[in-house]
Amino acid sequence: MPLFPNGRLSRRRFLAGTGAVAAGISILPRQGWAAEEAKLNFYNWDTYIGETTLEDFKAASGVDVKMDLFADNDELFAKLKEGNPGYDVIVPSNDFVERMIKANMLMPLDHKMIPNKANLQSAFLDAAFDPGRKFSMPYMWGTIGIGYRISKTDGVPDSWKWLLDSDRYKGKCALLSETTSVLGIVFKYMGHGLNASDPKIIKAAEELLIRQKPNIKLFAPDNGQDLLLSGEVDLTMEWNGDILQVMEEDNDLSYVVPKEGSVVWQDTLAIASGAPHPENAHKFIDFLLGAEVGAGVAKVIQYATPNAAAKALMPDSYSKNPAIYPSDETLAACEALVYQGSDVVRLYNDAWTRIQSA
Amino acid sequence: MWSGSTMTPGRVFSRPEPPEVGLAGGGAVARQRKHPLVFWVSALPPSLWLFGFFLAPLAIVWVLSFGEKRGLIDVEITWTLANYVRALDPLYLGVVAKSLWISGVTTVLCLMIGLPVALGIVFAPGRWKPILLFLVILPFWTNLLIRTYALIAVLRTRGYVNFTLEWGADTLGLPFEPLALLYNNAAVVIGLVYVHLPFMVLPLYAALDRMDKLLIEAALDLGASQLRAFVTIVVPLAVPGIISGVILVFIPALGSYLIPDLLGGTDSQMIANVIERQFKRANDWPFGAALSFLLMYLTFGALAIRSVLAKGDGGLEAK
């Protein structure tokens, strides 16, 4: 048995710290782009870019990309909160896009400079957290669902009931430890919207989770896939990409998005306010939305691409994989998290503290 | 997200001066201290360090705890006490009480394990002492995060402890059900004891090593039992070490964040985990700052108790 169950880094896992990766070998710029220096600072998730994407961009545009890594949206937000330390393109997710727009931390996009927007699936041309896509372009998307061990479950556990409201798998299940997503999923299970803000509903969700606690092994700080792989739990609430990684190692594992619906999340490409190279940033975003480039990225990171042209270039094992692309009806039951203002965030967090200390 | 181990200011207090292990040449030190220039030159760098990297940031956090949120990123300092009022809510006091309980249990266990270990080292043959002391501090050569992950591999359902027990049960032909050792409060205490044990052993060793062993001999010669000699001679002489050890273990354990996060179950949340959430997910820095200071005041309280105890036992406090 290995000491560290899963040697690879998942993009949402913090292990490597924030190392800077300088990409591309410097050669003289082939084209003289306007007045802007041929540089770009990219602030991205770990293992969240294609193998040669940055070199290819350098070859195509002459722009050197320096990539820094962040571990979660909170870190991204905290780092840019006191002013942009020099990043151009950043990769925030749904409700954080909204938070950053409200806090004037993002620069409006010039859609004329992003012709490859035409490659996007029409469903992604608008977003609840960024109406009209004024500030963000979709990069990758995915779902939260249940990762489970096939031999230890009775059929497909396609309801949140098994994790939230049942003692069938007592002591063998884990939930995420992310306040907003977990509460949102409980709201959905209770028949409300993902973004419920009524204090009564929040209270009811709190009571449900406190009642369920004796059956839950732990609230996993983003290592549910390892717990599943090592047999610590048989069912876990997790991000689809993380479960996909361990499914490659163990045929007895699978993933399902429960029928009540779930969180569908989206990571986006945006330009931070005060970016030193906004023109290069637009070029880079346009480049990433290209068909070949998008396919190259999707091949490596195995999340769903919103890029129809890129998806068309991918093999069936990817584009027909239900763990990557859930069925249309499942997807119709899913929602995206939106930012609800600090009062509701506080209600959520107080409820969470009570759940954790109950 | 695990980088938050420095989140609680209380931790900064946790490692004051190392235990004085038989410093030779005390006279020379005293002579140096008399020269004002030597004093100022040697005191300046640590003072600047203390001010720039400890007092100034602490002051910022303190001021922040009297602030109110204005929108998503701005905090206005209004000198409101609302954050402290909220921090005194039974919900958060309950979490504080739980943290006090867990770090208290940790401290008692460290003392119970540490005292025999320290005594063992004190009475070990001379050439063994450095090796044994070296073994005590050896775990510090590995990063805390790595050691905690290693504990996960030891304690989990398919971990080394359960493998060993299973092997034992198989050999004896007994049925075996893996023990749930991980993801509960016991796992948190095991992790905390494991990490903090050296901080108990070293001050105890320092105190006991100075003890005149003839005193024990005299007690035994005068008819005291082994136990009596231990209770009436060894333990009182170890009191300064016990006090230092208790402080060195209790305070960092109180503010521990990583271990409850990684080893704890659904009800192992400690106060530092709540503080971390305020600074990150909840995005409520003023409240996080107020909670941090609540922890600070507890730390001050513990240190105050220590100085009271030290005064009470003035004769025993090694100086």
Please write the tens of the pLDDT for every residue from B88-136. Answer: 999 999 999 999 999 999 999 999 999 999 999 999 998 999 999 999 9
Residue A283: closest CA among A33, A1, A3, A4 = A33
Mean pLDDT of A306-313: 94
Q: What is the pLDDT of residues A261-288, one digit of tens each?
A: 999 999 999 999 999 999 999 999 999 9
Q: Which helix (H) or strand (E) holds A76?
A: helix A73-81
Mean pLDDT of A181-195: 95
pLDDT at A20 over 50: no
Length of chain A: 358
Q: What is the pLDDT of residues B44-76, one digit of tens each?
A: 999 999 999 999 999 999 999 999 988 777 888
pLDDT at B23 over 70: no
pLDDT at B170 over 50: yes
Please give the Cα distance from B192 to B233 (Å, whole number).
30
Between B23 and B218, the more confident residue is: B218
> What's the pLDDT at B32?
57
Size of interface A-B (CB pairs under 8 A): 97
Between B3 and A166, the more confident residue is: A166
B92: closest chain A residue by CA: A353
The mean pLDDT value of chain A amounts to: 87
- ipTM score of complex: 0.77
Mean pLDDT of B285-309: 88
B85 phi and psi angles, rounded to 5 deg: -60, -45
Calculate ∠ Cα B163-B164-B170, nearest 5°.
85
> What's the pLDDT at A15?
34
- The minimum CA-CA distance between A81 and chain B, rounded to whole Å, is 6
Residue B2 pLDDT grade (very low, low, confident, very high; cuts 50, 70, 90): very low
pLDDT at A183 over 90: yes
What is the Cα A131 distance to its own chain's centre? 19
> What's the pLDDT at B27?
52
pLDDT at B9 over 60: no
Please give the Cα distance from A291 to A274 (Å, whole number).
29
pLDDT at B194 over 60: yes
Contact present, B261 and B41 (Cβ < 8 Å): no
Between B261 and B306, the more confident residue is: B261
Q: Which of B1, B73, B95 sits opposite A357 (nearest CB)?
A: B95
List beta partners, residue A89: A42, A271
Residue A18 pLDDT grade (very low, low, confident, very high; cuts 50, 70, 90): very low
Mean pLDDT of B227-239: 89
Mean pLDDT of A202-225: 92
> CA of A112: how far to CAs of A64, A108, A268, A285, in Å?
23, 12, 18, 12
Give just the sign of the alpha carbon dihedral B254, B260, B265, B267.
positive
> Which domains are present in chain B?
40-80 (no CATH), 84-310 (1.10.3720.10)
- The minimum CA-CA distance between B107 and chain A, rounded to whole Å, is 22
Instruction: Tell me, yes or no, if A78 comes closer than 8 A to chain B by beta carbon.
Output: yes
Those residues with Cβ within 8 angstroms of residue B131's Cβ, 6 or more apart along the chain or in another chain: none
pLDDT at B267 over 70: yes
pLDDT at B199 over 60: yes
Query: What residues of B are in contact with residue A14 (Cβ under 8 Å)?
Result: 1-3
Mutation choice for B interface testing from A4, A82, A218 by most B CBs within 10 A: A218
B258: closest chain A residue by CA: A221
> What's the pLDDT at A5?
41
pLDDT at B30 over 80: no
- Alpha helix ranges (H) inside chain B: 26-34, 36-50, 56-64, 82-87, 90-122, 129-137, 144-155, 160-172, 185-209, 213-221, 226-229, 235-254, 258-263, 271-279, 285-312
pLDDT at A31 over 60: no
Q: Which of A1, A345, A357 sits opposite B267 (nearest CB)?
A: A357
Query: What residues of A are in contact with residue B278 (Cβ under 8 Å)?
Result: 349
Instruction: Tell me, yes or no, if A231 comes closer than 8 A to chain B by beta carbon.
Output: yes
> What's the pLDDT at B28?
55
pLDDT at A130 over 80: yes
Instruction: Tell me, yes or no, if A81 comes closer than 8 A to chain B by beta carbon.
Output: yes
Mean pLDDT of A9-20: 38
Instruction: Tell me, yes or no, if A213 comes closer than 8 A to chain B by beta carbon.
Output: yes
Residue B14 pLDDT grade (very low, low, confident, very high; cuts 50, 70, 90): very low
pLDDT at B7 over 60: no
pLDDT at B272 over 80: yes
A215: closest chain B residue by CA: B266
> What's the pLDDT at A14?
36
What is the Cα A90 distance to its own chain's centre? 13
- The minimum CA-CA distance between A184 and chain B, rounded to whole Å, is 15
